[in-house]
Amino acid sequence: MVWKELTEGLDAALRGTGLHTPERMARLELSIPRESAHGDWTTNLALLIAKEVGRPPRAVAEALAAAFPRDPATFASVEVAGPGFLNFRYSGAFLDRLPGLVLEAGGTFGSSDGGAGGRVLVEYVSANPTGPLNVVSARAAAVGATLVRLLRATGHDAAGEFYINDAGRQVDLLGQSVAARFAEAAGLERAFPAGGYEGEYIREIAASLPPGPARAALDAPDGTAWFRDQALEQMVLDQRRDLDEYGAEFARWFRESELHRSGAVQETLRVLEARGMTYRARLPEVDRTTDGAPPDGPAAGAAELEEATYLRTGRFGDDKDRVIVRSDGSPTYLLPDLAYHRDKRSRGYAIAIDLWGPDHHAYVTTMKAALSAAGVEDGFLEVLIVQQVNLWEAGADGRREQVKMSKRRGRIVMLRDLVEDIGAECARFFFLMRSTNAHLDFDLDVARRQNDENPAFYVQYAHARIASILRYAAERGLRPAERETLRLAAPEEVALARRLAVFPELVRGAAAAREPHRLPAYLVETAAEFHRFYHACRVVGEDAAVSRGRLLLAEAARIVIANGLALMGVSAPERMERAAEAPE
């Protein structure tokens, strides 16, 4: 990887100028400029260290440029720009060689081993099993699955996991809701629970239950538990089916109830007590407003908080200490959540990446503080907040309007409905187009179009067009050139090769920054660069040598596009038609 060559070269340059320290190397930042005039790579290292070495930034940059061990097979120049930037420019020999290297690597082009086998667990979706998966869960599934693939492509031992919250007030409320709907259908009086789930899916679950056992459960003192268990299993099965069809992969579906049965929750409490991290307190000696739960957890009244057990999270950066055991002895959400993350660490994972919804933003600091209180090292937990999705489509009057959603009231745009409407691959592509920490406006009308306005179609069509060109050439006896004979001449050829050279760094950087949205942006730009090349340079022309060289470049572009789509869980079709080009 060029990134590795640059890193090692700048390390050598710092040593050669007597400016090297491990701390300075740790501050090294490398990036790829948006403008080709600024070179192929750039770094502001000289600007970062100039003050501490007591020299002007530009003088530091000039010294580093002179000491950089430039290999002419890779870089044509190392230039000092502006107040002290170092810009690196590829040599023509490197760009000539690149398409052949892409073909040689094939499906592994873009992969690297920088992760060194480090174990990473990505927990994503983890939607409460109280309703069908909606579009926010669909976004989390697209991001989580792609992040796992990116981590594997960069040498990590990565796996995905789904955490099932099958304990607590919300699943009890699910059972009560189903019981009420079953009684309603049977003509029996039973009050619907306050705050219960009112969606049509609750009636569907109730209708699917065996009448005899369900009727008996209605009359039993603890019969609501039967309805809860039946509904819970059906919801989990539905979620697994939907996510399987959507293309999300999980190495394990972990149930919260497992933690309680195994004793892990109580063991975690004992560990906290042994470390002196808990205390008992009565109100109003401590804050009355929290029970340590995330925003969607059960609220505890003031009476429940009397003589509660508190965790000293305030000592580790939280804004206050949090209740972990209520006065009745039941744990708040924080304690099993902490036990679950300790379980992740005990399984040998060096990093746990969690994807949470926007309503859990304030819980991040609490969870990290709780892990510190339990003795889990800083940096183990990383949290990505997956922001809200707004669906838009044309209304009856032709104006774009937002689709409204509410899980409790039953107005839900479900994952399965979205997949049926626009397809799983198109949905995944669209969900990945923006950073997870930004709200996503999802235009359903654009996603339904089979033309270049749809970015997913646009990228896939570029791959199909290249495949068509290669078939056309093969029918005429033309094959891509051997890499040793390629000479890039036209500006569009060079521009496309430069774009392909970005891909390994794109993959490495997306994995390191936990930013899968870099992939679709890169692929759209690469497809556009290929189309510029295609329209400016006749690939299969009268000069066989030129044609074979351009076929090699086109094949390299096809491989890069296919590899990028594969990381997103999107196929690379060999044949496609634009809607406008389809036969009548």
Q: Which segments of 128-222 does DSSP mark as H helices, in order?
A: 135-153, 169-185, 200-208, 211-219
Give the three-class secondary structure for 436.
coil
Q: Up-side HSE of residue 412: CA atoms within 13 Å toward CB? A: 23
Q: Up-side HSE of residue 335: CA atoms within 13 Å toward CB? A: 30
Q: Which residues of the chain have pLDDT under 70?
A: 283-306, 405-412, 483-485, 578-584
Angle, alpha carbons 220-221-227 (nearest 5°): 65
DSSP label of 191:
P
What is the residue-wise DSSP string for 108-144?
GTT---TTTT-EEEEE-----TTS--BHHHHHHHHHH
Give the three-class secondary structure for 72.
coil
Q: Which of 485, 501, 517 is nearest to 557 (CA)?
A: 501
- Asked whether the CA dihedral 502, 507, 511, 515 is positive or negative, the reply is positive
Q: Which segments of 250-362 does DSSP mark as H helices, in order?
A: 256-262, 264-274, 334-346
Q: Which segments of 275-401 does DSSP mark as H helices, in order?
A: 334-346, 363-373
Inter-axis angle of helices 544-567 and 92-105, nearest 10: 60
Residue with tokens 């933690």: 259
Adjacent-strand bridge partners of 392 = 402, 443
pLDDT of residue 293: 45
CATH of 119-165+253-385 among 3.50.40.10, 3.40.50.2300, 3.40.50.300, 3.40.50.620: 3.40.50.620
Domain ranges of the chain: 2-90, 119-165+253-385, 169-248, 455-581
Separation of alpha carbons 134 and 128, rounded Å: 11
2-90 CATH: 3.30.1360.70
Run of H or E residues at 535 = helix 518-536
Separation of alpha carbons 325 and 310, rounded Å: 7
- By CB atoms closer than 10 A (0-12, 13-18, 19+), residue 215 is middle
Angle, alpha carbons 461-135-259 (nearest 5°): 120
Residue with tokens 């490398």: 30
CB 232 within 8 A of CB 197: no
pLDDT digits (tens, 9 = 90+) for 303-355: 444 689 999 999 999 999 999 999 889 999 999 999 999 999 999 999 999 99
pLDDT of residue 36: 84
Residue with tokens 């189903």: 178
Separation of alpha carbons 226 and 577, rounded Å: 53
Q: Which of 222, 229, 357, 338 is nearest to 278 (CA)?
A: 338
Separation of alpha carbons 93 and 70, rounded Å: 14
Strands 30-31 and 85-90: unpaired
Separation of alpha carbons 581 and 468, rounded Å: 15
Q: Please report, in angstroms and rounded to a whole number, the separation of the first and last CA atoms in the chain.
A: 48
Residue 310 phi/psi, 5° resolution? -110, 150
- Looking at residue 15, its amino acid is R
Domains 119-165+253-385 and 455-581 share a fold: no
Q: How many helices (H) and strands (E) would you count in the chain? A: 22, 15
- If one counts every other C-beta atom within 10 angstroms of the C-beta of residue 225, the result is 15
pTM of the model: 0.91
pLDDT digits (tens, 9 = 90+) for 522-546: 999 999 999 999 999 999 998 999 9
| Cα Rg of the chain, angstroms | 29
Q: Which fold has domain 455-581?
A: Isoleucyl-tRNA Synthetase; Domain 1 (1.10.730)
CB 81 within 8 A of CB 41: no
pLDDT of residue 119: 98
pLDDT of residue 305: 44
Separation of alpha carbons 93 and 71, rounded Å: 11
Give the three-class secondary structure for 322.
strand
Q: How far is CA 2 from the centre of its chain?
A: 25
CA dihedral 311, 312, 317, 322 (to 10 degrees): 40
Separation of alpha carbons 390 and 385, rounded Å: 16
For residue 284, say if its preceding peptide bond is cis, omega within 30 degrees of 0.
Answer: yes
Q: List the structure tokens of 28.
A: 């090294």
